[in-house]
């Protein structure tokens, strides 16, 4: 039993604190014979008091198995005092210097006799984990205490994360590890950077905003886009926890705006990794909130203008990314999202951009409603766009780009508002028209005039935006009222002709399949037929009276019509010569009994018909009597012409 106890004690040989301190190795758990709790705490906190106390103590080696004082054979480590120049524990500060992060310590190039490296300062279950522990050089440029996180495109590592420089502990608030040791660099060019050393004192306390921002930055830069989204999200979440602590421990406005900017950047990154719409919207909203806070409270000399311009650029880029993320979402959902985040944004130009997007969504929603003939919804939605438009003009007053976008959107809204109101007025007029024709027993003129007023309003609203089709439809409706109700054909024809002209002006587009165009064309054709019939009946009455007056001439024509064609032609041109002196009979032989061939005679008859045709007679100039005679002669010539082959 004694021998067994002695063997176990050999693994707790006396420790040379100077040796371990210089090589960067933390001693393993010691027995109460060699160390005390105070010495261990001093060593882990970076103090040399433990070394001084250990130096003052007498070093008592463990006895060997025979209870003698030589006792080095059972120790796994070689004592420094007796090692030669080739010892693995040789003092070499340049190669064996250990860099610590959050109290973690490694013995670089230091081995046991078995040739395996050991890691100290953590229990076995807390040793190096490649998912969370990443090494950084002490002079890394990404640990910016002032802002501390660059833009999204600049803070990503190009390749796989290196793990051979220094170890980083990312356990949140792990008080079991020693606090990080930081020292300000001596160079003035990098005065805003923090470097981490293996020893020395820190000018940043553990509860300062700068300290937590530095810890958050180290984790943030490890969330490379080359990693899986799950690892990125977990590391970014840990970094955001440090940034929240940095914001809570902020003592000045500069610390607050720096922590807020970092929170905005990390929230933006997390939002890009989210697939769920509600979660993604939440993180984008958080990003806009902290960007707005950092931009708004960094004025009045708190931060330089270049820093504020960077925040503005990040907020603008975040908004563009947000718009791309929700581009495929339906319009109703997008409207809810924009209304949800609009009050969070305090940067004027960015807020104007969101208002313009909100107005554009409302405008497109109104256009879809108009395409489906839902003019009521279109009018309601178009009126809703007035608020974001007015807010944009109020907030972005003086900014040329914003004013131009607002003006273009306002013109589109006005044009479609006129279209929707024109359709509404026309629909109201159509409802009154059906009621007058189908529901009223007697003609209600008040309703008729009200209907005409609605149609006129529909015409005027379309003229303001030169919407030709809607104006043509309204004109056809007006012509229908004068045709079917008021029976004023001349007024109806005026509106209908104007409607047809506007329809033809949109050539090559045609409206032959539209009901309003068919109805308009049918009414005009009916008017044309009625006009022709009226003119014919009137002419027949006048012709009967003229025939009585021209009875002698009619008898002469009838008598000579019984002769052959050559003689009849000679009679007509001699007794009733054409009024045009150039129209003469040519090609007829003067001798009697000589007959022409059918083709020649047919051509002569054709010319004679043209000379005496009543449509070529000017009744006002030559009188209606001559028109009657020319009509009778033309009938006789046409009959002879048709008989020839």
CB 17 within 8 A of CB 50: yes
342-395: pLDDT as tens digits: 999 999 999 999 999 999 999 999 999 999 989 999 999 999 999 999 999 999
Tokens for 3?
């021998």
Which pLDDT band, with edges at 50, 70 and 90, does 112 fall under? very low
Residues 275-287: b if buried by 16+ CB within 10 A, e if exposed: eeeeebbbbbbbb
Please report whether residue 310 resides in a domain.
Answer: no
Looking at the fold, whether 71 and 199 belong to one and the same domain comes out as: no
Residue appearing with tokens 């990154």: 269
Please report whether residue 393 resides in a domain.
Answer: no
Looking at the fold, whether 515 and 555 belong to one and the same domain comes out as: no
Looking at the fold, whether 72 and 182 belong to one and the same domain comes out as: no
Last residue of one domain, picked from the residues 297, 312, 339:
297
464/413: higher pLDDT: 413
Please report whether residue 449 resides in a domain.
Answer: yes
612-621: pLDDT as tens digits: 998 888 888 8
Last residue of one domain, picked from the residues 265, 297, 329:
297
> CA 510 to CA 503: how far, in whole Å?
7
CA distances from 315 to 174, 233, 322, 472, 612 (A): 34, 21, 10, 49, 90
- Domain interval for residue 506: 419-536
Looking at the fold, whether 52 and 199 belong to one and the same domain comes out as: no
How many structural domains compose the chain? Answer: 4
Please report whether residue 211 resides in a domain.
Answer: yes
Looking at the fold, whether 47 and 111 belong to one and the same domain comes out as: no
Predicted confidence at residue 589, as pLDDT, reads: 77
Looking at the fold, whether 142 and 205 belong to one and the same domain comes out as: yes
Helices (H), 506-623: 515-549, 551-560, 565-575, 598-612, 619-622
CATH of the domain at 229: 1.25.40
492-503: pLDDT as tens digits: 999 999 999 999
Looking at the fold, whether 473 and 620 belong to one and the same domain comes out as: no
| pLDDT above 50: residue 228 | yes
Which pLDDT band, with edges at 50, 70 and 90, does 598 fall under? confident
Burial of 271 (0-12, 13-18, 19+ CB in 10 A): buried
CATH of the domain at 501: 1.25.40.10
3-state SS of the chain: helix, strand, coil percent to 5?
60, 5, 40
Please report whether residue 323 resides in a domain.
Answer: no
Find the angle CA(431)-CA(433)-CA(436) to the nearest 5 degrees.
110
Helices (H), 162-303: 209-220, 229-248, 253-273, 277-296
| pLDDT above 50: residue 182 | no
292-336: pLDDT as tens digits: 999 999 988 889 999 999 999 999 999 999 999 999 999 999 999
Last residue of one domain, picked from the residues 484, 505, 536:
536
Q: What is the rounded average pLDDT for all residues in the chain?
A: 75
Minimal CA–CA distance to 395: which of 431, 441, 342? Answer: 342
β-partners of residue 102 are: none
CA distances from 104 to 15, 121, 128 (A): 20, 6, 10
Please report whether residue 375 resides in a domain.
Answer: no
Looking at the fold, whether 141 and 267 belong to one and the same domain comes out as: yes
Looking at the fold, whether 596 and 469 belong to one and the same domain comes out as: no
496/199: higher pLDDT: 496
525-555: pLDDT as tens digits: 999 999 999 988 988 888 888 888 888 888 8
């Amino acid at each position: 039993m004694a021998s067994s106890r002695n063997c176990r004690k050999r693994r707790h040989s006396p420790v040379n604190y100077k040796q371990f301190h210089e090589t960067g190795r933390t001693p393993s758990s010691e027995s109460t014979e060699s160390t005390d709790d105070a010495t261990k705490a001093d060593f882990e906190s970076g103090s040399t008091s433990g070394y001084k106390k250990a130096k003052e103590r007498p070093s008592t080696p463990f006895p060997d198995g025979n209870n003698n004082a030589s006792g080095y054979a059972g120790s796994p480590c070689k004592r420094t005092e007796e090692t030669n120049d080739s010892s693995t524990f040789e003092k070499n500060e340049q190669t064996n210097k250990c860099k610590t992060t959050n109290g973690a310590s490694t013995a670089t190039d230091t081995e046991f006799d078995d040739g395996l490296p050991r890691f100290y300062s953590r229990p076995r279950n807390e040793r190096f984990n490649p998912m969370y522990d990443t090494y950084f050089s002490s002079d890394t440029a990404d640990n910016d205490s002032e802002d501390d996180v660059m833009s999204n495109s600049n803070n990503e590592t190009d390749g796989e994360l290196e793990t051979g420089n220094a170890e980083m502990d990312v356990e949140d608030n792990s008080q079991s590890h020693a606090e990080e040791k930081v020292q300000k660099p001596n160079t003035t060019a990098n005065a805003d950077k923090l470097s981490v050393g293996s020893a020395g004192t820190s000018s940043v306390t553990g509860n300062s905003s700068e300290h937590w921002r530095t810890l958050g930055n180290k984790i943030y830069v490890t969330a490379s886009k080359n990693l899986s989204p799950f690892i990125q999200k977990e590391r970014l979440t840990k970094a955001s926890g440090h940034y929240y602590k940095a914001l809570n421990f902020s003592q000045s406005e500069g610390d607050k705006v720096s922590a807020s900017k970092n929170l905005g950047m990390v929230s933006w990154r997390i939002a890009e990794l989210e697939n769920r719409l509600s979660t993604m919207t939440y993180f984008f909203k958080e990003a806009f909130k902290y960007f707005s806070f950092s931009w708004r409270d960094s004025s009045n000399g708190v931060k330089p203008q270049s820093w504020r311009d960077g925040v503005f650029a990040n907020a603008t880029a975040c908004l563009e990314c947000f718009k791309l993320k929700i581009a495929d979402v339906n319009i109703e959902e997008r409207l809810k999202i924009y209304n949800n985040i609009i009050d969070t944004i305090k940067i004027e130009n960015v807020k104007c951009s969101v208002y313009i997007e909100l107005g554009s969504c409302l405008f497109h929603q109104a256009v879809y409603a108009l395409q489906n003939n839902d003019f009521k919804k279109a009018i309601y939605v178009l009126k809703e766009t007035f608020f974001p438009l007015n807010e944009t003009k109020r907030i972005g007053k003086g900014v040329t780009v914003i004013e131009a976008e607002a003006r273009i959107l306002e013109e589109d809204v006005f044009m479609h508002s006129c279209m929707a109101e024109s359709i509404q007025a026309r629909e109201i007029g159509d409802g009154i028209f059906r009621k007058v024709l189908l529901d009223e027993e007697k003609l209600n003129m008040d309703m008729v005039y009200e209907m005409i007023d609605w149609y006129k309003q529909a015409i005027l609203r379309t003229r303001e935006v030169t919407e030709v089709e809607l104006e043509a439809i309204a004109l056809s409706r007006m012509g229908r009222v004068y045709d079917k109700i008021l029976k004023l054909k001349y007024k109806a024809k005026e509106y209908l002709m104007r409607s047809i002209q506007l329809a033809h002006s949109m050539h090559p587009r045609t409206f032959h399949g539209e009901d309003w165009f068919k109805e308009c064309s049918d009414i005009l054709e009916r008017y044309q037929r009625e006009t022709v019939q009226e003119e014919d009946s009137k002419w027949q009455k006048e012709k009967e009276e003229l025939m009585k007056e021209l009875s002698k001439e009619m008898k002469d024509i009838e008598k000579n019509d019984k002769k052959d064609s050559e003689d009849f032609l000679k009679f007509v041109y001699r007794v009733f010569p054409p009024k045009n002196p150039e129209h003469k009979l040519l090609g007829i032989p003067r001798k009697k009994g000589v007959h022409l061939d059918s083709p020649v005679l047919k051509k002569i008859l054709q010319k004679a018909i043209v000379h005496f045709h009543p449509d070529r007679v000017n009744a006002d100039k030559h009188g209606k009597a001559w028109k009657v005679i020319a009509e009778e002669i033309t009938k006789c010539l046409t009959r002879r012409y048709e008989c020839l082959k």
